[in-house]
Amino acid sequence: MMLIAAVALMMILGLVVDGGAKARALDHAGAIASEAARAAAATYRPGDVAIDPEAANFAAQDYLTAAGATGTVTVTGLDVAATVTLHQDTVFLPLVGIDAFTVTGAGQAQVVYQQGGTP
């Protein structure tokens, strides 16, 4: 009886701890994606018709590397969309065979530029 209660407690604890970690990881992935999109959009040079996709990708990948994430960036004119993937190890769920989980997040940025102003 005591063994069953201990196993049940560990499973509940695993769901709470690792479930909370997954929720935080989802939020973190979205924040990283938004910042990567902003970093890419910041490569815009006043006077250009659009953001340079190569410069934007380099800036975003640099940010993603520093954040410990992987992802992709898509540039369309003055709009940037970023998708990020994070991997998170679990604490208690390896007891039931779940060693890690993967989460994704998305972010967007848009350059708003007025002639004579700064982006």
CB count in 10 Å sphere of residue 100: 11
In a domain, 118, yes or no: no
For 59-89, how does the pLDDT look when each residue is reduced to its tens digit (9 = 90+)?
Answer: 999 999 999 999 999 999 999 999 999 999 9
Per the model's pLDDT, the better-predicted residue between 43 and 47 turns out to be: 43
In a domain, 115, yes or no: no
Asked if 78 and 111 touch (Cβ cutoff 8 Å), the reply is yes
Print the SS3 string covering 12-72.
HHHHHHHHHHHHHHHHHHHHHHHHHHHHHHCCCCCCCCCCCHHHHHHHHHHHHHHHCCEEE
In a domain, 84, yes or no: yes
In a domain, 22, yes or no: yes
CA distances from 37 to 33, 55, 72, 95 (A): 6, 12, 10, 38
Q: What is the average pLDDT score of the chain?
A: 90
Structural domain of residue 55, as residue ranges? 2-110
Q: Is the pLDDT of residue 117 over 80?
A: no
For 51-63, how does the pLDDT look when each residue is reduced to its tens digit (9 = 90+)?
Answer: 999 999 999 999 9
Q: How far apart are CA 89 and CA 95, in angstroms?
A: 13
In a domain, 16, yes or no: yes
In a domain, 97, yes or no: yes
Q: How far apart are CA 17 and CA 90, in angstroms?
A: 9
Q: How many domains does the chain have?
A: 1
In a domain, 40, yes or no: yes
In a domain, 48, yes or no: yes
